[in-house]
């Protein structure tokens, strides 16, 4: 059985309108953090939902999503939720549950038979890892947007899935929490040999922590590869309709410097279609 994640000819859309067509991703190895980039409307969330098996309006994608030798497409949801953890773009609802209960219910939904002391130990580990202990007994509806986003992440991490699909997990977070999230995900991928796919708009944060970059646009993969090679000015113009430079920071990471938005006529990928 080959380990890792690959996509073969994935096509998915809504009501007969294709968003992504024939998408391929050559195998990424266990332990990889993959940044999923692209303009608004490029299809990042659609792809993550298809991988999570939660297409809803998208229905079942065609093609293959191979995780550790098994095709996730068509795999029953009860089986898939053991392997895949998905953090949606929308923040968790502000319910009357306290944060601890919300994370507990995330484990119970997937592994109802796990002994209570194991569950409690894993919840405490995740709260410590993310620095969330002070929030454990606070009601979700009384938390800020960023705090609820962190609890949503805890709900995914506590299940220790082989594949983590995180849709803009840092969108509501300040700089310190953004780093905490990316550092944590990086550490978990390294330690557990899990694979993490993150849809993210902060390209520089992505380049700092990922092993692999996938840029979506025009319903396909515009660029794919290691952060040192996947992005250049042409790719950024096609993907985002911007004039930009890719430079190297003093620590050796790639850094995108966005200079200006190009007029619509100069854009190759048109968001808001």
Ligand X SMILES: Nc1ncnc2c1ncn2[C@@H]1O[C@H](COP(=O)(O)OP(=O)(O)OP(=O)(O)O)[C@@H](O)[C@H]1O
Q: Which residue, 158, 153, 152, 92, is CA-closest to 126?
A: 158
The nearest distance, CB 197 to ligand X, in angstroms, is 12
Least separation, in Å, of the C-beta of 7 and ligand X? 15
- Residue 119, helix vs strand vs coil: helix
Residue number, 57 or 265, with CB nearest to ligand X:
57
Extract long-range pairs of 90-95: CB within 8 Å, 24+ residues apart. 91/145, 91/148, 91/149, 91/152, 91/172, 92/140, 92/148, 92/149, 92/151, 92/152, 92/155, 93/140, 94/139, 94/140, 94/141, 94/142, 94/143, 94/148, 95/139, 95/140, 95/141
User: Closest approach of Cβ 19 to ligand X, in Å?
Assistant: 5
- What is the nearest approach in angstroms of ligand X to the Cβ of residue 44? 4
Q: Which is nearer to ligand X, 5 or 199 (CB)?
A: 199
Judge residue 22's burial from the number of C-beta atoms within 10 Å of its C-beta, 0-12 exposed, 13-18 middle, 19 or more buried.
middle
Measured from the CB atom, the residue of 89 and 224 that comes closer to ligand X is: 89
CB of 42 to ligand X, least distance (A): 4
What is the number of alpha carbons within 13 Å of residue 264 lying toward its C-beta? 4
* 38/85 with CB nearer ligand X: 38
| Identity of the residue, 46 or 147, whose beta carbon is nearer to ligand X in the bound complex | 46
Nearer to ligand X, 19 or 107 (CB): 19
Task: Give Cα 83 distance to the centre of its chain.
Answer: 15
Pairing of strands 220-225, 84-87: unpaired
Q: Where along the sequence are the contacts to ligand X (CB under 6 A)?
A: 14, 19, 38, 40-46, 57, 89, 273
**Cα→Cα distances 128→137, 145, 252, Å:** 14, 20, 30
- Asked if 37 and 254 count as a contact pair (C-beta separation under 8 A), the reply is no
Of the two residues 37 and 72, which places its CB atom closer to ligand X in the complex? 37
Residue 38: CB minimum distance to ligand X, A: 5
Shortest spacing between CB 89 and ligand X, in angstroms: 6
């Amino acid at each position: 059985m080959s380990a890792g994640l690959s996509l073969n000819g994935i096509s998915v859309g809504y009501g007969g309108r294709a968003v992504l067509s024939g998408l391929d991703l050559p195998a990424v190895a266990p332990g990889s953090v993959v940044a999923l980039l692209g303009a608004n409307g490029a299809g990042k969330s659609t792809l993550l939902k298809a991988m999570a098996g939660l297409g809803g309006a998208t229905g079942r994608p065609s093609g293959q999503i191979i995780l550790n030798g098994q095709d996730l497409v068509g795999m029953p949801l009860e089986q898939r939720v053991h392997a895949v953890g998905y953090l949606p773009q929308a923040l968790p609802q502000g319910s009357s549950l306290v944060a601890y209960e919300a994370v507990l219910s995330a484990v119970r939904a997937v592994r109802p038979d796990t002994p209570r002391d194991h569950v409690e130990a894993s919840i405490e580990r995740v709260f410590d890892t993310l620095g969330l202990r002070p929030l454990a007994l606070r009601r979700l509806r009384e938390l800020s947007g960023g705090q609820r986003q962190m609890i949503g992440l805890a709900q995914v991490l506590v299940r220790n899935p082989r594949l983590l699909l995180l849709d803009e997990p840092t969108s509501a977070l300040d700089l310190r929490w953004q780093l905490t999230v990316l550092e944590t995900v990086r550490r978990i991928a390294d330690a557990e040999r899990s694979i993490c796919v993150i849809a993210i708009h902060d390209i520089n944060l992505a380049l700092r922590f990922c092993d692999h970059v996938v840029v979506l646009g025009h319903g396909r993969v515009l660029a794919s590869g290691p952060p040192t090679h996947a992005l250049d000015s042409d790719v950024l113009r096609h993907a985002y309709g911007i004039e930009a430079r890719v430079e190297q920071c003093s620590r050796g990471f790639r850094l995108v410097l966005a200079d200006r938005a190009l007029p619509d006529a100069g854009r190759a990928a048109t968001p808001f279609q």
